[in-house]
Structure 1
Amino acid sequence: MQLAGISHRAESADTAILADHQLLMRLRTALDDVQQVELIYGDMYLWQAGTPLQHAQLRPTLATQAQQYWTLPVTVPTNRLIYAFKLTDLNGATIGYGDDGFFEDTATNWATTGHYFHLPYLHVSDAELPPAWVKSTVWYQIFPERFANGDAGNDPADTQPWGQGPVKPDSFYGGDLRGIIDHLDDLADLGINGLYLCPIFTSPSNHKYDTLDHFEIDPHFGTKKDFQELVDGAHARGMRVMLDAVFNHFGAASPQWQDVVKNGAKSRFADWFHIHDWPVGRDQQTGALNYETFGTTASMPKLNTQNPAVRDYLIEITTYWLSQLDIDAWRFDVADEVDHGTWRAICAALRAVKPDVYLLGEAWHSSPSLIGNGQFDAVMNYPLTQPILALFNHELTLKDYVGKTNLQLTQYPRPNQQVMLNALDTHDTARAITVMGGQPQRLQAALTLMMLLPGSPCLYYGTEVGLPGGPDPDNRRCMPWQPAPATTKMYGFVRALLVWRRQQAEFLATSALSWQIEGNCLVLIRQHADQTVTGTFNLGKSAQTMANDGMTVLAVGQQGQQLAAGGFSLQVQ
C-alpha cells in the first residue's frame, strides 16, 4: 500500500457540509492501490458511554491521473463526529488512518481516541452554502460596448459603424444599456436566465476595467434610470443580473490617483496605493515604475486593499448597487491578487444586505483558498473548461482529459462546485470556435460536454451564432444582428441545449458523475435514482457504435447506434 498517496483533511473540502446533519466524506489514495475503504465513525460522547461506532463503505468515485477519490454521504444525528478509515490494499493487508496518521489494525488501536479525526460540531452556517438559484442559472456574458447600440445619442464622438473591422484596442461602436434592454426578449427566448455584464461604470476605455467612478454609469452606456429598467426587465423575465467590479486597481484618471499625482506624499490618498518612491512615475534611467500596477499596465495603479479606508470605500460601492439597484450578484476582477481579509469584509457586508447574493471571483487557476471562510461562492472555472478545447482539438488523450477534469472536480466542496462559473470563452480569451479551427460541430460538442459538467454554465455573447474572434481585441467583435440570430443553424442548436440544461438543472446538480472510454469515444454518465443521462463524443477518425440505447435528446452525426467521426449524442434513460 502506497501510504504516501493516502490523504484526508478534517474541516476542509474532504468533509464538505451538504445540509444540516449531512456531510460528504472524502479520502484520497494512490491510483489502483486500494480495494476497499471503510469509515468507522460516531459521536465521541456516546461512544465513551457504550454506544458502538458505525461502519460504512466509501465508494470509489473520481480518479485523476495519479489518485483515486473515495466518497460517502454521511448523516450525523448529533452533529458531533469522530471518525477514522480502515484501508485494505489489493493483497488484503489492512491499516488504520486517522488524525495522528497510520496505525495497525488492532482492537486496542481502534479503542484509542487519539487515532480519530474530530469534527467537534457541525454548523451549517460554517459551510456557507451558496445560493440555491445559481445551480439553475445559465449565464450570458455581455461586453456592453459590443452587444447592441440602442441609443445613438450617447455614442462617443469617434464611434465606428456597427461591426466594421478590424477591431482595435481603442475602437468604439456605441453599444449601451438600451441595446441590452432592447434584446431581453431575445435572450429569454434563447434560454438565458442570468446576465453577466462586464464593467458599466465611468471609464475612458471601451472595456471599462480602468474605472474612474464606481458609483456612476458610464454616460456612453446610459443612465442609472436605464440600468434600473434593465434590472427590472431582467427580473420580470426570470433573469438575474451580475455586475463586474474591479477592486485590484483603479484607472489612472480616477480622482484618487490624480490627487496622488498632483499632491504626492501629502495626498490624502497616498496610502490607497502601493507606492515605493516619490514622485510617482518611471525611473528616468531604468524606465521602471515606482508604484505597483495590474500586470505591467501603468494606467492601472494597484489598490492597497489592506487600508481600512479603501475597504470601507469598496464596501460602500458594492452594497450601494445591491441595495439601491437590486442586482443579484457580483463578479470580482483579479480576485486572486487581492488580500483575503478584504474579500471577507466585502462578502460579509453584501450577504448582510442580500443573503442569497452570488459572489464570484476571477481566477485562472485552481483557487480553493478563495472559496469559503467568509469569501466567495465560486470562481471562474477556467481549469475545468479550457481542457475541453484541447480535447476537441485532439491535443489531449481521452485518458488525460478525464484525469485532468476529475482533478478539477475535486478542488472545491460539492455545494460550491455546483455553482462554479463554467465558460468555454470570455472577453479575455480567443473565441472557442476560432480556437477549434472555425468548426461549428466542434463548438456544439464542446458546449454539450460543458453543459453536462457540474457548475453554472456561461455563454459569451455571440456564441449562439458562432461569432469568431482571435485574442483580445478581436474576441470583442460586435454582436451580428443581421441576419437575425434565430434564423441561424447554430442558434437552434444552442437554444435546444440551453432549454434542456435548465430543465435538468436539479438532476445535474445532484447526480453522480462517471466516465467511460470506449475506443475513441468519450462517454460521460450522470446518474441519480432511476434516471441516467449519457453524453457520447466520438473523437476518432471513423464511425463507432454507441453502447447506449436511450432516448436521444440532441445529436450531431448520429444514425441509429452509429456515431460518425466528430459526432456526439446526448441521451436520457
Structure 2
Amino acid sequence: MKKRTLSQLTAAALSLFTAFGPVQEVHAQQSKASQWPRGITYEIFVQSFADSNGDGIGDIKGMTSKLDYLKDLGVEAVWLMPMNPSPSYHKYDVTDYYGIHPDYGTMADFKEFISQAHKRNIKVVMDMVLNHSSNQHPWFVDAVKNENSPYRDYYVWTHKNDPQTQKEGRPTGADSDNTQHWHKVEGSDYLYYGYFYDGMPDLNFDSPKLREEVFKIGRFWFTEIGVDGFRLDAARHIFPDERPIDNHNWWVYFRNEMLKANKDVYLVGEVWAPSDIVAPYLKGLPALFNFEMSWNIPKAVNEGRGDSLAIKHAKITNFYQSVNPDFVDATILSNHDQNRIMSTLNNDVNKAKMAASLLLTLPGSPYLYYGEEIGMTGKKPDEQIREPFLWDTKAKDKSRTSWMKPVNTTDETVKSVAAQKKDKNSIYHHYKTLISLRNGSKALTYGSIEPVQLEEKSISAFVRTQGDESVLALHNLSAKEVTVALPNNLSSYTKALYKGKGSQQKGASVTLPAYTSLVLKK
C-alpha cells in the first residue's frame, strides 16, 4: 500500500488546507512586558528532572514540586518531553496516545500539575509524537498479524518484490540508502516504512481513518486534560521528503482541526533544517524552532566574532515574517537532541554566559533546555545529554533522579542549584538576571531588530525597537577588552538597562571587558 497524494483527501479536508559574564547590574527594571507564547519556555525531560518517590525516576509530582523554582526563574511555559506509555527511556515510541507512562504517575497527577502550573501563570506544552508509533503499539501489533486488520491502513506497506516503491521516501543527502527506511516483518512478504528505525513504524497520513484518529488524540489532550499546546516531533517527516507540499498542507489541516478544540491552541514544530526549508511550514505551524541560530550563536562565540550574528538573525526574521507575520520564532541554544551548549563551548562559563546573553536579547521566544541555567554539560550519545538535574549536593538532594549514572554532570563538574543560588557570579544568576531583563522589556520581547555595524568585529551590536521603547544591545564575544565608538545616530542611547561588570559608556565611547554585555535605552 503506497502513500497516496493529498489530492485523494476528502473535499472537506482539502478546503481546510487552504485556510490559513561576571557580576552585572540591571537598572530601572520595568514592569512585566512579556506574555506567552512570546515569553520563556523551559524544556523538561521528565525522567531526569525531579523524583518525588525515591524510585530514581523523575515523575510528574516531582515536576509539580519544582513549579515555584520555574516561576522564580521567570519561565512562562514548560515543554514536557513525551510522557505517553512507551518501551524506551526517551518515550518517543508511543504505545498509547491516551495514557501517561506509569513510571511518571497518573493522569490525575498530570491534571494536578497543569492546575498548579496555571495557578502560577505557567502554560503546559506536551510533546506529541505523530510521525510514528512504537512497533509495540496495539495498532501495529494487530496490523502485522493480520493483513485485513482495521489498523493495517494506519501504517505504510510495500511488497518485498516492489523495488520501485522502496525507493520512495528516501531522505535527502548524498549518503541516502534508498531502502534503509523499509523494514522486514518476520514470516511476511511485506515491508513497512519507518523513517527513523524499525522500532518506530511511520503512521500513514494518507489514510482518512488515521487522520481522524490523530484529530481525536489532539482533542482529547486539549479538551479533556487541558494542555495548552503541542510540540510536534519530526514535523518534516509526516510525508516523504519528495512530498514537501503535502507536509506543509497537513499542518494547516491539523491546526484548523485543533483550533476547533482550543481557540488559543499553540503548536510548535520540529523542522530540523535551514530557514528556506523551514519557512513554508509557518502557515500551519506558526511556531517553529530556529535551529539555524542554534548553530550560529555557539559558532560566533567560539570564534569570538559577533559582527554578522544580528545580520543573520534579521535575515531569518524578515524572511519568516514575509510568510506569516504572526510567526513565533522559537529560539534555542540546544535541546535534547543536541550537545549541551556548555560542552559545545568547551565548558567555558564566560562563553556560556555570553551565549545566554545573546539568546535573551536577540529576537525570538526563547526555549531553555533544563539544566542550561546551571551549566549542565553533555555530549552525545543521547543519554548523556539527558542526565539528572542537580538540585543540591547528592547527600542532600532528595529530588535527584538516579535512573542512570551520569557521565558529564556530577557534583564534581557542575554546581547544584542550591550552591549557585548562593553565588551571585553563577551562571544561574546570570540567566535569571537576563530573563528578568527580557521579561520586563517590550523591545526585547517583541521588538524588531536592526543590526549595527561597528569597526570591532568581536562585537555583536543591534537595536531592538517596539513602539516607544528602543534598546541598543552590545556584546563582546572575544576574550579581550574592547573600546568602540558609537555612531552619531546612536548617541541618544545613554540609559543602562543592563551593565556587565566593568562595562562603561563615556559619551560616544563604550568599553566592554571580555565576554561582557551592555544594554542601553534611549
The code of the aligned residue for 2:372 comes to T
Q: Is the 8 A contact 1:289 1:298 kept in 2?
A: no
The code of the aligned residue for 1:298 comes to D
Rate the CA distance shift 1:541–1:466 in 2: closer, same or farther, 3 A: closer
Hey, what does 1:526 align to over in structure 2? 464
Hey, what does 1:486 align to over in structure 2? 421
SS at match of 1:209: coil
SS at match of 2:335: coil
SS at match of 2:314: helix
Matching residue within 342, 360, 364 for 2:250: 342
Structure 1, unaligned stretches of length 5 or more?
1-125, 156-172
- Distance in 1 (alpha carbons) for counterparts of 2:227 and 2:97: 15
The code of the aligned residue for 1:571 comes to L
- Distance in 2 (alpha carbons) for counterparts of 1:282 and 1:298: 8
Q: How does 1:281-296 map to 2 (within 5 A)?
A: 281-282=183-184, 290-295=191-196
- Following superposition, the deviation at residue 403 of structure 1 comes to 4.2
Could you tell me the percent identity over the aligned residues?
A: 28
Matching residue within 461, 483, 488 for 1:545: 483
Matching residue within 292, 302, 308 for 1:383: 292
Q: Deviations over 1:71-128 (max 9, x none)?
A: xxxxxxxxxxxxxxxxxxxxxxxxxxxxxxxxxxxxxxxxxxxxxxxxxxxxxxx996
- Distance in 1 (alpha carbons) for counterparts of 2:351 and 2:228: 33
Q: Is the 8 A contact 1:202 1:218 kept in 2?
A: yes
- For normalisation by structure 2, the TM-score amounts to 0.75
SS at match of 2:193: coil
RMSD: 2.5
Rate the CA distance shift 1:551–1:222 in 2: closer, same or farther, 3 A: same
Tell whether 2:39 aligns with 1:137.
yes
- Following superposition, the deviation at residue 290 of structure 1 comes to 2.7
- Distance in 2 (alpha carbons) for counterparts of 1:127 and 1:538: 45
Tell whether 2:197 aligns with 1:314.
no
SS at match of 1:459: strand
Tell whether 2:380 aligns with 1:468.
no
Q: Is the 8 A contact 1:391 1:401 kept in 2?
A: yes
Hey, what does 1:108 align to over in structure 2? none
- Following superposition, the deviation at residue 318 of structure 1 comes to 0.8
The code of the aligned residue for 1:184 comes to L
- Distance in 2 (alpha carbons) for counterparts of 1:506 and 1:322: 32
Rate the CA distance shift 1:390–1:354 in 2: closer, same or farther, 3 A: same
Hey, what does 2:473 align to over in structure 1? 535
Q: How does 1:254-265 map to 2 (within 5 A)?
A: 254-263=137-146, 265=147
Rate the CA distance shift 1:135–1:407 in 2: closer, same or farther, 3 A: same
- Distance in 1 (alpha carbons) for counterparts of 2:183 and 2:292: 36
Q: Is the 8 A contact 1:553 1:570 kept in 2?
A: yes
Rate the CA distance shift 1:257–1:137 in 2: closer, same or farther, 3 A: same
- Following superposition, the deviation at residue 234 of structure 1 comes to 0.5
Hey, what does 2:128 align to over in structure 1? 245
- For normalisation by structure 1, the TM-score amounts to 0.68
Tell whether 2:213 aligns with 1:269.
no
Q: Is the 8 A contact 1:418 1:455 kept in 2?
A: no
- Distance in 2 (alpha carbons) for counterparts of 1:426 and 1:454: 18
SS at match of 1:276: strand
Matching residue within 347, 355, 358 for 2:266: 358
SS at match of 1:141: strand
Q: Is the 8 A contact 1:432 1:443 kept in 2?
A: yes
Q: Is the 8 A contact 2:290 2:332 kept in 1?
A: yes
Q: Is the 8 A contact 2:307 2:453 kept in 1?
A: no
- Following superposition, the deviation at residue 438 of structure 1 comes to 0.7
The code of the aligned residue for 1:493 comes to H
The code of the aligned residue for 2:293 comes to L
- Following superposition, the deviation at residue 261 of structure 1 comes to 2.3
- Distance in 2 (alpha carbons) for counterparts of 1:281 and 1:292: 6
Tell whether 2:280 aligns with 1:369.
yes
The code of the aligned residue for 1:427 comes to H
- Distance in 2 (alpha carbons) for counterparts of 1:511 and 1:402: 11
- Distance in 1 (alpha carbons) for counterparts of 2:198 and 2:311: 40
Q: Deviations over 1:449-507 (max 9, x none)?
A: 11222221111111111111112221101000114253351211111111121111466
Q: Is the 8 A contact 1:306 1:342 kept in 2?
A: no
- Distance in 2 (alpha carbons) for counterparts of 1:531 and 1:281: 57
- Distance in 2 (alpha carbons) for counterparts of 1:456 and 1:238: 16
- Distance in 2 (alpha carbons) for counterparts of 1:234 and 1:530: 33
More strand per residue? 1
Matching residue within 52, 57, 60 for 1:177: 60
SS at match of 1:442: helix
Hey, what does 1:453 align to over in structure 2? 362
- Distance in 2 (alpha carbons) for counterparts of 1:493 and 1:177: 28
Q: Is the 8 A contact 1:135 1:418 kept in 2?
A: no
The code of the aligned residue for 2:121 comes to G
Q: Is the 8 A contact 2:230 2:267 kept in 1?
A: yes
- Distance in 2 (alpha carbons) for counterparts of 1:242 and 1:555: 34
Q: Deviations over 1:549-571 (max 9, x none)?
A: 63333344534242123322223
Q: Is the 8 A contact 1:555 1:569 kept in 2?
A: yes
Q: How many residues get paired?
A: 418
- Distance in 2 (alpha carbons) for counterparts of 1:428 and 1:289: 32
The code of the aligned residue for 1:371 comes to L
- Following superposition, the deviation at residue 317 of structure 1 comes to 0.5
SS at match of 1:201: coil
